[in-house]
Every structure is written in structure tokens, then in C-alpha cells.
Amino acid sequence: MNGRGIILKTGTKLFVIFLISGIVVTLSLSWIIEFYKYQKRLVPLDKVERLFDNAVRTIKETYPSEDREEIARKVLGEYYKYKSNRKKILPIDVFKVIQPALSVVNDQNFRLYPPTEPVYSVLPFTATVVDGRVIVSSSAVKDIIAGDEVLEINGRKISELIDLLLPYTSGENYSIREQQLSSLIQLIPELVDKKKDRIGIFYRQKEYNIKVMSDGAEKTVVVKTMTAMSYTRESVQFPALQTRRPFEFYKEGDIGVFKFGTFSLSGTIYNTYREFLTNTLVYNKDMKVVLLDLRGVASRDFTIFKELFEHFVDERTSVERWISIVNTAYNISVLNKYGVDFEKTTNELLRIKFFHTFEPREPVIKADVWILFDRYTSNAALDFIYTFKKLRKDRTIGEPTLMKINHTTEVDYKFDDSAKTSFMFPTAVISEDTQRDVVLEPDYEIELSTEERINYVKGIEDVMLNKALEIIKERTVKR
């Protein structure tokens, strides 16, 4: 072999060596980076314990119940069934360890929210649960469309999967807990099927067999998991079920209908809401009948309901109410809100009389106000409707609420940065002179079938609203 051939052969070997070395270094560096990112996500066991201890301390010191010591003991006993022996765990595992223990409190306002990380493996669709049936609300794949009903996932029936997910919810009964399942269905790969973690450079998709009912026919499709981040990006190209707007108004004959999707408003959104409300009232001052549709309203503050209703009162009006709060330094702001001057912690459960006072607010509309609510109405919305019923007789339509009248009226939140989760807990409850198990009953009850509820979710037909309008028209004519 001549010198030139030897040089070429040697050069080729060096090139191959450099190429392989480059690939190895690149892969190794990528793995090291991913390993570092994985380690950064892990939550040390002492922080997990601290988060749980904070929850137990909250029960003992601020939970508005005479039985809070007994409740704390139950939670502690349950925690040791799920407690992890690993030195560090992922945020989703923190949720899996702590939430089942908090679940025994049986209070929808005492729980951890599922942590949200963009790297989570999720099913390529979201869903809403209605009476134990799972309806797809949005999708990121063409073979499963919004409105399909999910029957099985990897051979497991929906009823079985719901049973597996219920410990990650909180509430007094199944129907209350069911509302929280919608945020958990998509996390089945993380909550139910997750195996030992692997550090990988590339995301590994997992196949799922999904049986759905679509257009009246059953079919089974194979889909792949995706990351939570990629789902957000991919799902925008497919139709989703329509959700309620934050606020809207329209007229149904002589009836002005305000529909609210949320009352959790702040900043510029709140300003937009006030502008919407004022303009609507100014241009419809001749309204004689108004229906406030408060179904599905999310709210933690009575104030926004108060401001809304003040447009429909023409004189100062007060309603007596009762509330219970633990007398502790942790509740100073809540105690002050209800007129209690805090002096020292006694840990006594106080029962305080207070008044909801409504002042006329411009523009004042002298209309006959009705309220429509459903079984999911809770917290501040339920409190407002109960107060409204004391002022306006025979003006509420809907169905009995799942939450009792003596319900949570003040809730607080704490965010844990290490576990990437929020902890919600009650600080005060309404304590009216009524039986503990009494729910809010409408003056005119509307019964809905499961199919009618599903049709409402799908946007096919709103039976409850249609029946409510018929009741109002009939009652208006009689007067």
C-alpha cells in the first residue's frame, strides 16, 4: 500500500472516530442535561412532609369545625397508607401521596390541585364527566372528536377508572367529586399507569387503546400519549366543545338573560365586566324581567354578586346572616372582614352575626329578577342565592344543590413551588339556623335526565334554560 492510501485510510479512521466521539459526547451531554432537569423537578421528602404537616396544622388551627382534632387524626392515619419511602419524588407523586389522605375530610374545598408540568404524559384528549359518563371536550387527534363518549381505556371500563381516580378528589359525595374528575382523566398515564421513571433524551410516547361511542357507533382507536405542552399546541387545530363565556347578555322576548361563566374576575377582566354590565343596563333600562343564569359559576367572593344585584334594588336593603370562624391569628383578615376585632388566639369556633347590605347602584333597573342555578352551584354563588331567596320570594328556578346551605363561604390558597401545586382550604363557613344536611332548594324545580345534561355539555340543547323561560313567562302572565 502506497503512502497516499495509508494517509486516506488513517484519515477515514480518524473521521469515524471523531464522528462517533461527537455522537457519544452529544448524547452524553444531552443525557446529563436531561438528568439535571429531572433532578431539579424532584421534591425532597422533607418538603413533602412539610407540605403535609402544613395541611394537618391548617385543620387543627383554622378548619371551621368543632371536630377538627378528630378530622386531623383521620388524615394522619390515612397518610401513612400512601407515604413514600423514597428520598425524593416528583410533584405528581407528591399529589398521589398527599391528596388521598386529604380526601377523607370529605370537603370539596379542602384539597391539593393536580400539579401542572409541561413534561407530563397525557392522553390526547380532555373530557367532562357527567353522571359517570365521560364526554370528550377537546382532542388533539383526528380519530377522537369532541362529543365522543369514552367507554374504555386499554380494556378498562370507565367505571373502573373512575374508582381509581376518586381518591384524588375531595367532596361530600360522588356527584361533587365527579366535577374534579375532568382534570384527572387526561392525567391517567401519570396517575394510574405510570411505571418507574426513566431518564431519556427523547420523549417516549405510549400507545393507548381507546373505545369510544362516536355518532352512535362504537369503535376502538389507537392513540399515543403526548406531553402536556404539545397537547396545548396540537389541540387548537381540532374543534372543541363550546364553553360558556365569562359573561353575555341577550333578550328572549321581554326577558333579559344574563349568562355568567365565571365570577373569578380581576384586573382588566373585571374592568371589562363592569363596562359590559353598565352598558347592557343603560341600553336596556326598560327591562321588566331579568334572568340571572348562574349555572357553573366559579367564584370565591360574594362581593361581585352583591355589586350585580345592587343594580336591581332601589333602596338600602340588609339581610341577616351567620358565619363560623375559628378565633386564631391565622384568621385575622377573615375575622376583620366580618367585624371581629382580634385580640388573642383562643381556638374557639365563633358564630358571628353579620349583615349583607345592598346599596342602590347606578343604573338602577326596576325589574323582576329571577335566578337560574343547578346542582353544582356552590360557595359564594350559593350564598348569594340563599340571601336572594330571603329578599325575593318565588324567584329561583333550577335543581337542589349538592352542597349544603351551611357551606364554606371563605377559602384560601397556598402555592407550593417545589411540588408545583396549590393547597385549598376553608377558613369560614355559613352557619344558618337550619339542619346540617339541608341543601338549597329552588322555588321551581327542574329535573334533568343524564342525556339532557350531556346534550347541554355538547351544546345541542339547553333544556333547563328553556324550561326556566317557560316558567317565567307563565308566572309573568298570571300576575
Is residue 395 a part of any domain in this protein? yes
pLDDT of residue 289: 94
Is residue 18 a part of any domain in this protein? no
Both 257 and 223 in one domain: the answer is no
**Per this entry, what is the length of the chain?**
479
Count up the domains in the chain and report the number: 3
- Low pLDDT (below 70) residues in the chain: 1-39, 195-203, 265, 477-479
Among the candidates 213, 237, 261, a domain finishes at 237
pLDDT of residue 35: 61
Both 89 and 191 in one domain: the answer is no
Instruction: Give the structural domain span for 96.
Output: 43-112
pTM recorded for the entire structure: 0.87
Both 105 and 168 in one domain: the answer is no
Both 199 and 341 in one domain: the answer is no
Both 454 and 365 in one domain: the answer is yes
pLDDT of residue 38: 65
pLDDT of residue 303: 83
